[in-house]
Structure formats: structure tokens, C-alpha cells
Amino acid sequence: MRLSTIWKKLGIGGHSEQKPSGCPEPVSRDREAEVRALLARPPFGITGIADAAFPLYDRALTHRSYANGGEYPAAVVDDNERLEFLGNYILDFIIADHLYGEYELPPGEMNRRLQVTRNTKLAEIVRGQGLGIDGAIRRRGLALTDSIIADAFEALIGAIYLDRGLTVAREVVLAIFEEEIAGCDVHRNYRGRLQEYVARENLGELEYAFRQTGPGSSPVWAARVAVGGNLLGEGEGRTKQGAAMLAAKEALGRLGGR
């Protein structure tokens, strides 16, 4: 399905969205500060959000139970369902495009790796990487389920795409998923292979150190890996995970564990 077709179904055009009808509920300063702080941190690195674009991000983190939970008459609060629809397609496209360009895989194997975007896996990634999305979702009277977290994550990707475009959305998605995707490849999962080799050979503690340079919107990560206190590998990449993977690859070569 073409992105223009998706835009038409959503009632949006280009990188802007229809304004909600009615009187929108004003966003409190605390809420705005919370969402802006969340987006400014890695792996998002999104700062300088225009006032006109901010409601996109707030909406992405608003469940329908919050939007529909007020008493009549109430201010209009948009939920994240439309953004989640868009974000789902954008997320799958970015990962599929990355798999096609970076891995020599048959279609069936590429489809298997796309399973990293299923709801339970998305929720696991959000919690495991400490992305903070789960703590920023507005809802009423509902437990925070994997589905609610996953929908908010996808909606946030949709909001990033609409506000900043595909290039920034791609950078964010790959920064989050690169290690997950590479972990599916036994030949390129150097971090996993290094960990197994060090444990098997009883070589001591495995430690990674990271340093970030460059602007927050386009960081460059440097990684070092030490085994038993000895520096064995260094790597540099546009994502933290990618830099660590290169450092692990170098360490494996020095240890003879290729």
C-alpha cells in the first residue's frame, strides 16, 4: 500500500495532519515537559518540537480510554488509534527495507524477523530498553497491557514520521531495533557470540563502555569492550548497538573466536 493511500485513509496530507474539531483540551505544562523530556533522550533525540507539532506526540501517548473517559460536556481529546495505524506501517516498512538492504535472506526468513514488531515484543523492548513510553501513556481505568504499550509505541513512530519525516523515523527505529534484528543472525550477532565464547573459555568479566559525540539528533557512538580487564575491541557507529557490535567483532577476532 502506497504511503499516499495511507495518508488518504487517515485524512492527512504530507507531513501534517487534520486539526481536531471542537475545543481541544489544553496540555498542562507538566505534561508537555514530560513528553518533551522523553523525546529528547536517546534513542529518540528529538528536540525543538514546534508548538503546532507537539499535539501529535501528546496524542500518540493518549489511549482511547482517556479520550473517551470524560463527562459530557468535555473538551476534545484525540486518542492514538489513527497514529498507531500509520506507525504500524512505517515501522514494518523501515525494518523490511533494512532487512532487504543489509541481509541476504529469503522472504520467509525476512518475514520471521519482522515478528520483532508484534505487540508482546514491542512492549518487551519498551520496558527492557527503558524507553519511558509506558510511563507516559495517558489512560483511565485500565491496566497497562502489552497491547496498550505497543500501540503507543507505534503511534509515536507515526508522530515522528509526520513531524520529522522518514529519515528521522528510520534513525530512531534502527537505533531501537538494530540489535534485535542482528541477534536473529547467528553469523552477525557478534555480541552474542562474544558473550558465549568468553563464558565457554572462562575468560573473565565482559564489559562494554560507551561514549557519544555529535548532536543529539545525529549522534555518533563509540564503544569499547574489555574481557577480564583487557581492552580487546573498539567500534564506532551511528547507533549504540551498532558500535557495540563492531567492538565485539574486533574482540572476537583477537580472541580467535570468529
Where b means 16+ CB within 10 Å and e means fewer, 27-56 reads beeeebebbbebbeebbbbbeebeeebbbb
In this structure, the dihedral spanned by the alpha carbons of residues 64, 69, 71 and 74, taken in order and rounded to 10 degrees, is -30
* Tens digit of each residue's pLDDT (9 = 90 or more) over 191-231: 888 999 999 999 999 999 999 877 655 667 899 999 999 99
Q: Which CATH number fits domain 3-182: 3.30.9.10, 3.40.50.2300, 3.40.50.9100, 1.10.1520.10?
A: 1.10.1520.10
**For residues 149 and 200, what is the distance between their CA atoms, to the nearest angstrom?**
37
Q: Is the pLDDT of residue 73 over 50?
A: no
* Tens digit of each residue's pLDDT (9 = 90 or more) over 36-71: 999 999 889 999 999 999 999 999 999 999 887 654
**What ranges do the domains of the chain cover?**
3-182, 190-255
Q: Which CATH number fits domain 190-255: 3.60.15.10, 3.30.160.20, 3.30.56.10, 3.30.479.30?
A: 3.30.160.20
Residue 134 identity: D
pTM over 0.95: no
Task: Confirm if 242 and 178 have CB atoms less than 8 A apart.
Answer: yes
**For residues 186 and 189, what is the distance between their CA atoms, to the nearest angstrom?**
5
